[in-house]
Amino acid sequence: MRRLALLALGVALLGTPAAASSHNWWFKTPGGAAYCGVDDGWVCMRPDDGFWVRFTGIYGSTARADVRKGESDRYRDYGGPAPRTLGFGEFFTTSDAQIVSCWSRRTGVTCKLYDGLSFSLGRYRGYRVFWDAPGFPPNVLPLFRTGHGIYCGIDQDTLAPEYPTLDCWNPSDGLVIGIGYPGRSAGHRHSEKAIGFRPHGFRKLAFGEIFEWRCRKVTANYAERCSANTGETVFTCTSSRTRLTCTNRSGHGFWASARSFYTF
């Protein structure tokens, strides 16, 4: 599956027009401090000085991934458009297979290949190339956060959205815990990438408040057209002063507090 995704990305790279075109850029960071996209590989560049860092060899059956860097007058002072601005704290991936993943921070942008090869491009100066542990932070549709420091959302890393999964994580210790529909028992793991991951866009679920994720088309086998507004309840979460408790329609679920958890 990874090899197929690499080949697919390679086709996209080979079919990309030359460098300064706005069609190359998949996103920019706030203020246009950096642009990232495809130009003979996955590249991020800094218009302020034209400095760039690029993943090469990320497609083909015998390619070996590497990182190159340099400066280019084509990039210097560039200020064209990009399809989106990746805000501070936001996460981006090139595909469902997450061959390349990037994070925007106030200090700059960091991009990583699926095997851990990574680079960071500073917002105003500097760069770094390093190996990071494999894995990715939770990629969810934001729902809420609690006073216990737990974040929850609907899993976006799925090829079958008709089987929704509620994922929650604790940034203090990297616990990731979740339940699915239909009738799936809760599962959990610990993720290095969830530690310290506190993205924006999650409203606070107050103590005593109940949250329901609803779907307008629900059968015994799948649930579709979902939101927090209308339809049959698929997931229910209740925040108390001691813990967050979430269940699915089958009664399976979990509770999680700031320091412990339990699945049922």
Provide the pLDDT confidence category of residue 23 given band limits of 50, 70 and 90: low
Report the C-alpha gap between 39 and 58 in whole angstroms. 12
User: Averaged over 239-258, what is the pLDDT?
Assistant: 95
Backbone φ and ψ of 9, nearest 5°: -65, -35
User: Averaged over 15-30, what is the pLDDT?
Assistant: 67
Q: What is the pLDDT of residue 61?
A: 46
User: Averaged over 146-172, what is the pLDDT?
Assistant: 92
- pLDDT reading at 260 higher than 50: yes
In whole angstroms, how far apart are CA 143 and each of 31, 84, 152, 170?
28, 22, 6, 14
- pLDDT reading at 165 higher than 70: yes
Average pLDDT, the chain: 86
* Highest mean predicted confidence (pLDDT) among 47-51, 93-97, 129-133, 173-177: 47-51
State pTM to two decimals.
0.57
CA angle (121, 84, 132) in 5-degree steps: 35
User: Averaged over 27-33, what is the pLDDT?
Assistant: 96
* Highest mean predicted confidence (pLDDT) among 36-50, 95-109, 129-143: 36-50
The domain spans of the chain are 2-131, 140-263
Asked if residue 96 lies in contact with residue 1, where contact means CB atoms within 8 angstroms, the answer is no
Beta bridge partners of 224: 217
Q: Which residues lie below 8 Å from residue 251, measured CB to CB, with a gap of 6+?
A: none
User: Averaged over 76-84, what is the pLDDT?
Assistant: 93
User: Averaged over 216-221, what is the pLDDT?
Assistant: 94
